Structure 1
Amino acid sequence: MASAITLIRSADLSDAAEYAYASVAPPGARLIFPAGSCPLNQDGSTAAVGDYAGQAAKCVENLRTALAAAGASLTDVVSTRVLVASSRQEDLVTAWEVVRDAFGDHDVPSTLLGVTVLGYDDQLVEVEAVAAVLDS
């Protein structure tokens, strides 16, 4: 199913960003607000301890699962926020590249943040998203 989301770009803003600057959900869309996707295994343990890329991949995997349970997929995502527990830009970029690549051509607006600490033991990455779908 094709996404109902429209990604907005502007020639008046920098083209250095690897994502659209805004997105629009169509009238009548049902919004989906998943909890922040954490790098947790099904047993509650933290996946890929010490590995920013591995944790970002697990976050995306868990986000896909949560979205599917709500009747959506990554192409229905309106925006994301990627939280990385690090003050090193290279760690943020490592996590971001995994998330960006998972979305492929659906380059939704996103915010990348370095934070002091996240909620689970050994957690380095969390991905928040908002999605919108049209019910058929």
Structure 2
Amino acid sequence: MESIVGFCRAVRVGPYISVGGTAPVDSEGKTVSIGDPAAQARRCLEIIKEALENAESRMEDVVRTRVMLTNIEDWEKVIDVRAEYFKDIKPVDTIVQVSRFVNPEWLVEFEADAVVSDGTEPETVGPKK
């Protein structure tokens, strides 16, 4: 799809990497795991992982994810998969329900933003006491 509609899976500017809407598709663009939001989420995250590696980055550099679901009731199944990749990294996250995607077989899409580390450990920031 990238060459057909003129977009990149990921764009890097300096240490910043943005990974665009990532759908659950195989290398030929066919939907994987129709009807299974968890398996589709895993495929999306594997595509993001590969895109980050191609940009000389890694999942540990992710600072934000966005999860878009066609059925908000699937959020726990999808977030359980997200936790497999990010439980120790703890990027910020947004989860939203959308009415549909370009392909109605898709139940989930992910986006991610990363910052390639300069060696500084990221900090989780919470409310001030």
TM bracket, shorter-chain basis: 0.7 to 0.9
- Alpha carbons of structure 1 residues 70 and 135: separation in structure 2 relative to 1, 3 Å: farther
Contact 1:33 1:129 in 2 (8 A): yes
Matched, 1:130 2:119: no
Q: How many residues align?
A: 106
CA distance in 1, matches of 2:117, 2:88: 20
- Structure 1 stretches of 5 or more lacking a match? 1-28
Matched, 1:75 2:60: yes
- Structure 2 stretches of 5 or more lacking a match? 1-13, 120-129
* TM-score, structure 2 as length reference: 0.76
Contact 2:61 2:117 in 1 (8 A): no
Hey, which of these two has a bigger chunk of helix by percent? 2
Give the secondary-structure state (helix, strand or coil) at the position aligned to 1:33.
Answer: strand
Partner of 1:97: 80
Q: How does 1:1-136 map to 2 (within 5 A)?
A: 30-87=15-72, 89=73, 91-134=74-117
* TM-score, structure 1 as length reference: 0.72
- Identity in percent: 33
CA distance in 2, matches of 1:82, 1:108: 12
Shift of 1:121: 4.0
Displaced runs of 4 or more, over 2 A: none
Give the secondary-structure state (helix, strand or coil) at the position aligned to 2:39.
Answer: helix
Write the letter of the residue equivalent to 1:35.
Answer: G
CA distance in 2, matches of 1:94, 1:48: 14
Q: Give me the CA root mean square deviation.
A: 1.7
Give the secondary-structure state (helix, strand or coil) at the position aligned to 1:68.
Answer: helix
Contact 2:68 2:97 in 1 (8 A): yes
